Amino acid sequence: MLFSDLVVIGGGPAGMSAALAAAGHGIKVTLLERMESLGGQLVKQTHRFFGSESEYAGTRGIRIADILREKVESNRLIDCRRGSTALGIYEDGVVTFEEGTQYKKVNMDRLVVATGASEKMLVFEGNDLPGVYGAGAVQTLMNLYGVLPGRKVLMVGAGNIGLIVTYQLLQAGVRVAAIVDAADHIGGYLVHASKVRRCGVPVLLGTTIRAALGTTEVEGAVIQKLDSHFHPIPGTEQRLDVDTVCLSVGLSPLTELLRLAGCKMRYIPALGGFVPVHNSYMQTSRSDIFVAGDASCVEEASSAMMEGAIAGLSAAISLHVPSAGILEQRERRIRELAALRAGDVGAKIRNGLAVMAD
């Protein structure tokens, strides 16, 4: 059995920030990451990030991953365990995990869960054909392994991920026939939309995918217009000549472990679905468990890093470690997070959090 003041599950931007914040106040941390390298979603993001310059905005996602990884790996207080998948959380403070072929246990006083989110699927005919991918898989193929997913793609979903992955496909020389989205407006940032529009990609709103065609692989797709109640309008089917369908229809927080631990959950669509109820200190209904990043609410890397820092600091504070300036530091992070969400695009998250606080 291992012992640790703080266990952090997930080595994405949220988990790494949590580990660094706590270690910064002398806390010994065990960081569990199921992949062989740290970085989470960031390692696939070749585009420049938004957010505040002080939170690495304008820097490419992959670079941000490098910066955080170097800090985590060189910190002696952080026991960084890659290739380690957390399996269970028990009432007595034991976290079990699989490391390689071994089953291990770590005893913790505090826990931060920063497991990120998983992609949503969409129901349509032929969605099981090879050639239908989630946006995450397309990014992994292209940006991690340098493999093109296809030659001509239909993108489903005009949120930020759909727009960004479309742009990355274009950069890789892949053609994108269209982006379709059931909504009546573009969900992602309009600067991203302008960027793909001026490369000639049409954005078809009030439109969905009805079918992926083909017998052994995608050989085409059928799209159809929707009325204002999201019902398909007969006679508006259109066949597109594509060999790949890429889905980017949203993410849901990965929260099985939190559920298992008995943390109170609530269904809040604005935050991505079932989310662990938590306060502004990122503390869940179990006082020894904190949450951060997409696992707490699907948002973005800048907020994930801030939430991670808040969760790490809160864990340290609750361990009663006297450390100068720690409360002020946490207040500052909380203020920064509120500033990030203060604009138009933050309204959805603000509303979701207000529902949670009810």
Partner 1 sequence: MFTQDGIVTKEMFESSLPSPQRRRKGPYAVMECYQKIPCNPCRTSCKFGALQATDDLNALPVRDAEKCTGCGACVSACPGLACFIIDETYSEWEAAIRIPYEMLPLPKEGEKVDGLNRAGVPVAEVRVLKVQAGKILDKTNVVTIAVPKKYLYDIRNIAVRRKEHG
Binding site for partner 1 (CB under 8 A): 47-53, 57-58, 60, 170-171, 173, 184-186, 189-203, 205, 302, 339-346
For the chain, first and last CA: distance in Å? 40
340 binds, among ligand FAD, partner 1, none (CB under 5 to 8 A by kind): partner 1
Place of tokens 């569990």: 32
Based on the shown chain and the rule CB under 6 A, indicate whether residue 291 belongs to the binding site for ligand FAD: no
- Cβ-in-10-Å burial (0-12, 13-18, 19+) of 247 comes to buried
Q: Is 9 in the site for ligand FAD (CB under 6 A)?
A: yes
* Closest CB to ligand FAD among residues 53, 358: 53
Three-point CA angle 24, 59, 80, nearest 5°: 35
Residue 183 CB, nearest distance to ligand FAD (Å)? 18
In the complex, minimum distance from the CB of residue 353 to ligand FAD, in angstroms, rounded to a whole number: 16
Tell me how far, at minimum, the Cβ of 331 lies from partner 1, in Å. 16
Q: Which residue has the tokens 């960084």?
A: 80
Q: Rule CB under 6 A: is residue 290 a binding residue for ligand FAD?
A: no
- What does the alpha-carbon distance between residue 63 and residue 42 come to, in Å, rounded to a whole number? 8
CA-closest candidate to residue 286, choices 253, 257, 328: 257
Quickly tell me which residue has 């020894």 as its tokens.
288
Question: If we measure between CA atoms, which residue out of 121, 85, 112 comes closest to residue 273?
Answer: 121
Q: Which does 86 bind (CB under 5 to 8 A by kind): partner 1, ligand FAD, none?
A: ligand FAD
Q: Write the DSSP symbol of residue 142.
A: I
x/- map, 108-127, ligand FAD, by CB under 6 A: ------xxx-----------
243 binds ligand FAD (CB under 6 A): no
288 vs 299 by CB, closer to partner 1: 299
Number of residues lying near ligand FAD (CB under 6 A): 38
